[in-house]
Amino acid sequence: MDRIEESVSAWPANGLPATLADRTRRVYDRMAAVYPVSTMLFHSRAHRCALEASGIADGMRVLEVATGSGEMFRRLVKANASGSTIGVDLSPNMAARTQRTARRKFPQSRTHCQAVDARHMPFRSEAFDAVFCCYMLELLSTEDIGRALREFRRVLRPEGRLTLVLIGQNTALFNAAYKLGGRVAPAFWGRQVERSVPQLIESARFQILDDRTVQQTFYPSRVLVAGR
């Protein structure tokens, strides 16, 4: 193979050069079956806290962005039994798994999940009462975090609430381990952004209403609730 053939064969099938988002989608697609273990061990306490802090009530139109394998999504569906709960994830396998398990456990509820990129979402403006996004911003560049936050604002109704969960940066040893993980597998770990996100939230014209920290074993999280 010559140099051109070699570089073209490294591109994904759609012919575009590989981007970090392509690699993130691929790696999370492969992790879909085993990801629930990691969520249970490290994210479940923060998910519970986010649900409580968000102020969601039954009957709302709720969007979860980056559902992963659907653990938070099922909490949302349960809390919003007579409303509608929509989930999106960049990884088609994650979205499919979330949809399958939610429909099996809550067959009467109005739920729908699909593969969507948070940076450009196919929803009309002001379509949702609440938007949730847990542990995704770490996987985006600063510019893309701004894009995603603007999308969250666009799809939220004026009195709607945005609930974010971020990986905490308050433990030096954990930060060092995370930095290493991020160097080895950036598409999977990303980088910690907890300290910079509050300012980005405010630049996207949100106002922070609640701010909590949670620790699950050695894994720190920060839960932020913001209003438009």
Ligand X SMILES: C[S@@+](CC[C@H](N)C(=O)[O-])C[C@H]1O[C@@H](n2cnc3c(N)ncnc32)[C@H](O)[C@@H]1O
Judged by the rule CB under 6 A, the positions of this chain that interact with ligand X are 21, 24, 28, 39, 43, 65-68, 72, 89-91, 94, 117-119, 134-136, 139
| Closer of 108 and 226 to ligand X (Cβ) | 226
- Nearest-approach distance from CB 124 to ligand X, in angstroms: 18
Shortest distance (Å) from residue 20 CB to ligand X: 9
The count of other CB atoms within 10 Å of the CB of residue 207 is 10
Closest to 157 (Cα-Cα) out of 107, 207, 228? 228
Beta carbon nearer to ligand X, 131 or 139 = 139
Closest CA to 193 of 131, 137, 144: 137
Closest CB to ligand X: residue number: 68
Nearer CB in complex with ligand X: 119/157: 119
Q: How far apart are CB 96 and ligand X at their closest, in Å?
A: 12
Give the residue with the Cβ less far from ligand X, 152 or 206: 152
Whether residue 163 contacts residue 53, with contact meaning beta carbons closer than 8 Å, is answered with yes
Question: Considering just the CA atoms, what is the radius of gyration of the chain in Å?
Answer: 18
State how far the Cα of 78 lies from the Cα of 68, in Å rounded to an integer.
17
Nearer to ligand X among residue 8 and residue 100 (C-beta): 100
How would you class 58 by CB atoms within 10 Å of its CB: exposed for 0-12, middle for 13-18, buried for 19 or more? exposed
Nearer to ligand X among residue 117 and residue 126 (C-beta): 117
* 114: phi then psi, degrees, rounded to nearest 5: -155, 165
CB of 2 to ligand X, least distance (A): 34
CA atoms of 196 and 47, how far apart (whole Å): 21
Chain Cα centroid distance, residue 24: 12
Distance (Å, whole) CA 206 – CA 152: 10
Least distance to ligand X, CB of residue 133, Å: 7
Which SS3 state, helix, strand or coil, does residue 161 take?
Answer: strand
43 vs 161, which CB is nearer to ligand X?
A: 43
Compute the least distance from the CB of residue 50 to ligand X, in Å: 9
Smallest distance, ligand X to C-beta of residue 154, A: 15
Q: What are phi and psi of 226, to 5 degrees?
A: -130, 150
